[in-house]
Amino acid sequence: MQALHPSTPSRPLDDLVKLDHRSFNELHARYKASVGDQRAQTAIANELIREIAQHSAGEEMTFYAAVQEHESTQLADHLRGAHQGVKEMLYTLESRQVGSAEYDLLLDQVMTELNTHALEEENQVLPTLRAQIGEDNMIKLGQQFLGAKRMAPTHPHPSAPDKPVTEAIAGAMTTPLDKLRDIPREFAERRVPEE
C-alpha cells in the first residue's frame, strides 16, 4: 500500500509509534541541554507536551481500539490507564514555571512513566498485534494513527473520554480551544521524523 505521494511508502503503526517515542526523548534531552535559556526550554516543553497529547489520543483511537478488538479489553484498559496517569501529570506540569526545580522534577517523572509504558508497547503489545493482524493492517492502522493525531487536542485533557468514538467527539470540542491557546506559544522544531 502506498501513500498519496507514490514515492513515499506508508509506514506501519509500530514504526510510527516508535518514531514518536524517540522524539519525546530527543526533546527531553534538548530541554535538559538548554538549562538557563527559559525561552528555549519553554518552546521545547510546548512541543513535547503537544506531541505527547496528540500521540496518546492517536493511540487510543487506533492502536488501543485494535488491541481491544484483537486481544482484550483488559489490556486496552491497562494501556489507557497508563495514559491517564501521564495526562494528569502533564496537566499539573502546565501550571508550573518552566525551568523551576519543581517543573524539572515533574518532567523527569513524566518521562520515566512514559518510557516504561513505551517499552511495554514496543516490546510486547505492538509485536503481538503485528503477529495477529499482519503487515498490511499495520500499515492501515499507521495511516489512521497519523490522521487521528492531526485531529487530536494539543493539550492534555485528563477528564476527556479515552474511548474511540467519544474521544473523537471530545477532541472535536476541545481542539479549537487548544488551537487558540497555541497562538501566543512558541514551539521548538521536531527533529525526529514523524513518518
Contacts with Fe ion by CB under 5 A lie at 59, 121
Least distance between Fe ion and beta carbon 153 (Å):
15
Residue 84 vs 92, nearer CB to Fe ion: 84
DSSP state of 96: S
Burial 168-186 (b: 16+ CB within 10 A, else e): bebbeebbeebeeeeeeee
Residue 117 Cβ, how far from Fe ion at the closest point, in Å? Answer: 6
> Minimum Å distance from CB 83 to Fe ion?
6
Give whichever of 3 and 85 is closer to Fe ion, judged by the CB atom.
Answer: 85
Nearer to Fe ion, 51 or 121 (CB): 121
> Judged by CB, which is closer to Fe ion: 94, or 122?
122
Residues contacting residue 42 through CB under 8 Å, at least 6 positions apart: 98, 99, 186
Cell of 134: 499482519
Distance CA 187, CA 134 (A): 36
Min CB(55)–Fe ion separation in Å: 6
Q: Among candidates 190, 193, 195, which has minimal Cα distance to 139?
A: 195
Among residues 38, 23, 5, the alpha carbon closest in space to that of 149 is found at 23
Minimal CB distance residue for Fe ion = 59
Cβ atoms of 132 and 70 within 8 Å: the answer is: yes
**Minimum distance from residue 72 beta carbon to Fe ion (Å):** 16
Nearest to Fe ion of 51, 59 (CB atom): 59
Q: Angle at Cα 172 formed by Cα 12 and Cα 195, nearest 5°?
A: 20
